[in-house]
């Protein structure tokens, strides 16, 4: 790498991008810098975004929670809006990496990296996050599931950046659950993760549920048929056993050095059993 550029204003950023069309953008760098060190990517120029304060912070706007793409994971953990209204995202960030990684890594970087094991992605899918994509000339808004196209692949065109994440302020779900399984208790890349938003009626029936899984397919996976199968069922082992089997039949995991495909398939279904704790605590 011959040089790095550090814009402090968006006007500078657009100029740097125009002058260096082959440059790579760095939004925290916790994944990118590892790739540069291993020489799996060899950018001639790096545009570092960490001083663009306009793309940081959390705020309310027109009934939505807006998160700047350059907001770090540590900042998310300490933000009162995130803690109160997006507790499932806070839970995922709490499980993400180590304190130094959370200090450097950004929510936008985690999204654009587009790893199926990205800890924030499953919560963002079921929160129905929309992403604001900006260039010098225009902006557009896309749902996160349309933006992430595959492992490491996103719908980001030349001259564009991810600037904000928008989430509807929706507090109707009483259960916010995130869990990941890794090879260690800490600093572990996810083998399987699951995010769930759920409401339980007084008779212990699941009245509404959203589910998403990470590390069991090329992108985050959701199964509408599993959610429909669970809604109206009792939150008991017997009530969810059909859904467990359906998940295990529907996921498409790979085998790698961290886990076999069969292990991931089995765990993906069995993570639904974790939801039973919410029934017993009522």
Residue 114 gets the label, from left (phi > 0), alpha (psi -120 to 50) or beta, of left
Helix (H, G, I), strand (E, B), or coil: what is residue 145? Answer: helix
Angle between helices 237-250 and 261-270 (to 10 degrees): 150
How many Å apart are CA 212 and CA 230, to the nearest integer? 14
Confidence (pLDDT) at 126: 98
Which residues of the chain carry a pLDDT beneath 70? 1-2, 183-188, 280-282
Listed residue (278, 109, 265, 264) closest to 182, CA to CA: 264
How many Å apart are CA 175 and CA 157, to the nearest integer? 37
Confidence (pLDDT) at 70: 97
Fold of 3-168: 3.30.465
Confidence (pLDDT) at 33: 78
The HSE-up count of residue 210 (CA atoms within 13 Å, CB side) is: 15
Confidence (pLDDT) at 251: 96
Considering only the C-alpha atoms of the chain, give the largest distance between any 2 of them, rounded to a whole number of Å.
64
Confidence (pLDDT) at 281: 53
DSSP state for residue 271 in the 8-state scheme: G
Q: Cα separations (Å) of 52 from 7, 117, 197, 243?
A: 7, 27, 33, 45
Confidence (pLDDT) at 112: 96
pLDDT tens digits, 122-134: 999 999 999 999 9
Confidence (pLDDT) at 31: 80
In contact, 54 and 12? CB cutoff 8 Å: no
- The domain segmentation of the chain, as residue ranges, is 3-168, 175-280
In contact, 265 and 216? CB cutoff 8 Å: yes
The pairing of beta strand 153-154 with beta strand 148-150 = antiparallel
In this structure, whether the domain defined by 175-280 belongs to CATH 3.40.140.10 is answered with: no
pLDDT tens digits, 145-180: 999 999 999 999 999 999 999 999 877 899 999 999
pTM for this prediction: 0.94
How many Å apart are CA 259 and CA 3, to the nearest integer? 39
């Amino acid at each position: 790498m011959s040089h790095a550029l550090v814009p402090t204003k968006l006007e500078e950023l657009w100029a740097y991008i125009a002058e260096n069309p082959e440059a790579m953008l760095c939004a925290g760098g916790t994944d990118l810098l590892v790739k540069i060190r291993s020489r799996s990517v060899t950018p001639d120029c790096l545009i570092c975004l960490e001083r663009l304060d306009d793309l940081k912070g959390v705020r309310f706007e027109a009934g939505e929670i807006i998160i700047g793409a350059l907001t770090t994971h540590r900042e998310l953990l300490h933000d009162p809006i995130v803690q109160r209204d997006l507790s499932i995202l806070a839970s995922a960030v709490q499980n993400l990496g180590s304190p130094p990684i959370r200090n450097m890594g950004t929510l936008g970087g985690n999204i654009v990296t587009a790893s199926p094991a990205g800890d924030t992605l499953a919560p963002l899918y079921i929160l129905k996050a929309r992403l604001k994509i900006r260039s010098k000339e225009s902006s557009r808004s896309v749902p996160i599931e349309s933006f992430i196209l595959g492992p490491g692949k996103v719908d980001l065109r030349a001259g564009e950046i991810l600037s904000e994440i928008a989430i509807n302020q929706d507090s109707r779900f009483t259960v916010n659950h995130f869990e990941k399984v890794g090879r260690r208790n800490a600093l572990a890349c996810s083998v399987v993760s699951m995010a769930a938003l759920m409401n339980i009626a007084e008779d212990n029936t699941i009245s509404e549920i959203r589910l998403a899984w990470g590390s069991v397919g090329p992108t985050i996976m959701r199964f509408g048929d599993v959610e429909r199968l669970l809604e109206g069922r009792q939150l008991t082992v017997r009530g969810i056993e059909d859904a467990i089997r359906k998940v295990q039949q529907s996921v498409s995991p790979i085998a790698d050095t961290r886990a076999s495909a069969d292990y991931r398939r089995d765990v993906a279904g069995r993570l639904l059993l974790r939801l039973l704790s919410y029934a017993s605590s009522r």
